[in-house]
Amino acid sequence: MGPARKEPDQSTYSGRLAKRMIDLRTKADFSVADVVERMAKAGYEIKDMAYRHWESNRRQPDLDALPAIAKALKVRIKDLMPAR
């Protein structure tokens, strides 16, 4: 087992998006691999590590990835976006 996951910095919009993605994924009881597989079925292929980087706020998803992320997490795009 690796080190504990560090929570994204929520003082930034990208950090709040990362936290929102984590919350929605865990609420849906999906693993990262589940989300990546569901995104591929929605037409957007990435590797597990890329998705992990999005959730850790090391990188941000491209805008064209948002529809696939929302579909994979079973939410509307507007529900994926964090509150201000």
pLDDT per 10-residue tile (average), the chain, 84 residues: 66 92 97 98 96 96 96 96 82
- Say what the pLDDT of residue 66 is: 96
- Rounded to 10 degrees, what is the CA torsion of 50, 59, 65, 76? 110
Instruction: Please indicate, yes or no, whether the overall pTM of this predicted structure exceeds 0.85.
Output: yes
Ranges of beta strands (E only) in 1-84 are none
- Say what the pLDDT of residue 74 is: 96
Quote the DSSP letter at residue 81.
S
- Say what the pLDDT of residue 11 is: 86
| Residue found under tokens 């994979």 | 72
